[in-house]
Each structure stands twice: as structure tokens, then as C-alpha cells.
Amino acid sequence: MIALRQLLFAVLFLHAGFSLALIETYEFSSPELEARYQMLSEELRCPKCQNQTIEDSNAPIAQDLRKLLHQQLEQGASDEEVLEYMVARYGEFVRYRPRFGGTTMLLWMAPVLLLLAGVGVLMLTLRRPSGVSHKKPTELSAEEQARLDALLAQDETGKNS
Amino acid sequence: MGSRLKLFIPLLLFAILALFLFRGLGLDPAEMPSALIDQPLPEFSLPELGGASNLSRADVIGQVGLLNVWATWCVACRVEHPYLLELAGQGVPIFGLNYKDDDRGASEWLVELGNPYELNIVDREGTLGLDLGVYGAPETYLLDAQGVIRFRHVGIVDQNVWATILQPLYQSLQAEMPVQ
């Protein structure tokens, strides 16, 4: 039992050791640069593992891009310059918030278009039942009227007795 | 009767959705067009594998050819290798970009498995790889005679990829070349 517990601990701690080893730390000359590094590394997408930011990913390419990002920020590049540099090499794909225009137009417009389509469908469906309710109620035929009168009269007599 | 037909609208919408989803099944999200299509191959100055002098852009352009990104740590490259040998045998110029690799291992690999490359650029730090937008290996770039990148294939080049994608482009680029 104790051996098992020790084994479990060993597994847990070894694992933790490995994952720590994969995260590199960068020294920044100012806290402002570090904040921008955080912001940009969460905006840039790892080209290899497509649903992770370069911040999240341990793919070699993500490590390289983090290193490059650090270098460029330390060299005084603006956010715009860094993004420009990355996009020139990896395409708009590398940004989680791609620039508006060209191929990304549809992507940006999609929410608005879908919302408008939804409103359109809603208005159509809401208008339809109201059209029905405004129709004149159909007249009772003579036979139906006679039956109704008979029923009402029956009800009256039932109440009086 | 019209309102009856309207009941089929959800079915129609579903059919359209299914069509898109079905199309999606056949798409590979890893197949991204390179940002460098129709851009000149970036300038570089990197050592040659097994050579003494540095290579530059001028050493790999001048003819229609392939630039193949490979490394000994890349398992798929080993799978791809025999087909590259075959292409080289057919006279297709292939330039190697040995990407983030160890020189000795790479040289041994070429001795052991055969060398399909005209020459090999050593990109130990991945700097040229970064300028090219490489995100893994193998990747293969098709260069025209002016050194402009015309196509990028991500993944293994095999008989199928060559015959259906690369060869038609390669041949049309060769036809573009002025006769000297």
C-alpha cells in the first residue's frame, strides 16, 4: 500500500517536473513590455496546433514564435509591427482577430448577417398568425343556429327548475 | 397548400447544412496556403551541409525546382524520402532545407538513405524556416526560375501528390521558362 502511494507521488511529481521544464521564462526590461508580451502571445495563433494560442502551445513552432516575440518587443517593435511581421510569414491565420477585408470579410460580417436573417425569420413568423386572427368569424348556418338556441333554452330551463 | 410546403423549409435548411458539413469532411485544416505564394524566396546566408562556404538565395534559384524542408527528427520525412530519390532520378531539381537539425545526423541520414538533394541549406535555428512560414516538416515549396514561390505543399510528397498537384504546376512553370 505504501509502495503504491509512493509510486503515485513519484508519478505526480515527475509529471510536474516535465511540464515545468517545457515552459521557458523570459526576462523583460519593463513590466509594460511583459504586459504587451502577454497580450500578443494570447492573440497569436499557433500555426501547427490550430486551436491554441502560441501562449498555450508547446509545439516547437510556438516556442520559436514566443522567442521571436520576446526579441522583437525588446528591440522596441510596436504591436502593429510584430503582428505585421507574423502575418507576412504565416498569413492572417496566425491572428485570432484577423484584419477586416478581403477573405476575412465574410468571417467578420457573418454574425451581423445571421442576426439580420434571424430577425427576418422572426418577423415573418410573427406576422402570419396575426393575419389569421383578423379573419371574420364565419357565420353559423341556420341549422347550427337552431341547435345553439335549443341548447341555450335547455340550459335556461335546467337552471330555473 | 402553400403552408404545407413551408413545413419542408427545415428539411431544406438541414440539407444545405449537410452539404457544407459533407464538404468539410474532405477538407484538411492543416492545408493552409502559404502567405508567401507569389513572393520571392527570402534572402538568406546559411551554411551548406557538408560544405565550407555559406549558401545564399542565388544558389537555389535559376531553374524550376523544389525546396524540401526536412529533418532527421521528422518521421514523415523518412517516409517521403524514397519518393524524393525517385523524383531526383527523373531529373527534378530538389534543394534541401535541413530544418533545426543536427549536422552529423543529417549527413549520416543522406549517406544511409541516399541523397536526392542538389545541396542542403543548414537552418539550425530555423531562421529561414521562420521567414518562409514553415511550421513543421516535411514541407515542399515549388520555386520558379526567378526564385518566386509558386506553391507550398504541407506534408509528404508522394506519387499521388506529385502527379495530381505538383507535376502539372512544375511542367507549366517549365514551359514559362524562356528558351536559352
CATH of the domain at A46: 1.10.8.640
Do A141 and A63 lie in one domain? The reply is no
DSSP A71-109: HHHHTT--HHHHHHHHHHHH-GGGBSSPPSSGGGHHHHH
Q: How far is CA A151 from the centre of its chain?
A: 62
Domain that residue A41 falls in: 13-99
Query: 3-state class of B27 per DSSP?
Result: coil
Nearest to B35 among A64, A68, A89 (CB): A89
Is residue B171 predicted with pLDDT exceeding 70? yes
Strands B94-99 and B120-123 come out as: parallel
Assess whether A17 and A65 both reside in one domain: yes
A85 and A111, same domain (yes or no): no
Residues A88 and A145 in one domain: no
Last-in-domain residue among A99, A115, A148: A99
Q: Say which of A87, A89, A91 has its CB closest to residue B131.
A: A89
Note whether B133 contacts A68, CB cutoff 8 Å.
no
State how far the Cα of B144 lies from the Cα of B142, in Å rounded to an integer: 7
**Grid coordinates in use for B60?**
537555389
| A60 belongs to a structural domain | yes
DSSP structural state of residue B26 = T
pLDDT (tens, 9 = 90+) of chain A, 161 residues, equals 567 777 776 666 665 545 544 567 888 889 999 999 999 999 999 988 888 999 988 888 898 899 999 999 999 999 999 999 999 999 888 999 888 877 788 889 999 999 999 999 999 988 876 555 555 667 788 888 899 999 998 888 766 65
A110 and A85 housed in the same domain: no
Is the Cβ of A91 closer than 8 Å to some Cβ of chain B? yes
Q: Which fold has domain B34-176?
A: Glutaredoxin (3.40.30)
Res B109: pLDDT: 95
Confirm or reject contact between B29 and chain A (CB < 8 A): yes
Last-in-domain residue among A71, A99, A127: A99
* Stretch 43-62 of chain A: residues touching chain B, C-beta under 8 Å: 47-48, 50, 60-61
Tally the domains of chain A.
Answer: 2
B83 and B158 Cβ atoms separated by less than 8 Å: yes
Q: What pLDDT does residue A133 have?
A: 54
Helix (H) or strand (E) holding A51: none
Element at B110 (helix H, strand E): helix B103-113
| pTM for the predicted model, two decimal places | 0.73
With CB atoms and an 8 Å threshold, state whether A50 touches B126.
Answer: no
Q: Is B53 helix (H, G, I), strand (E, B) or coil?
A: coil
Are A124 and A140 members of one domain? yes
Residue of A nearest to B132 (CA): A89
A31 and A73 fall within a common domain:
yes
Between chains, do A48 and B36 touch, taking CB under 8 Å as contact?
no
* Record: contact B133-A47, CB cut-off 8 A: yes
Amino acid B20: pLDDT:
93
Is A88 in Cβ contact with B32 (below 8 Å)? no
Q: Same structural domain for residues A89 and A123?
A: no
Q: Which residues contact B54 (CB under 8 A, 6 or more apart)?
A: B45, B46, B47, B48
pLDDT tens-digit map of B98-136: 999 999 999 999 999 999 999 999 999 999 999 999 988
Pairwise CA distance, residues B110 & B115, whole Å:
5
Query: Which residues in chain B touch residue A50, judged by CB atoms under 8 angstroms apart?
Result: 29-30
* ipTM score: 0.77
pLDDT band at B30 (very low <50, low <70, confident <90, very high): confident
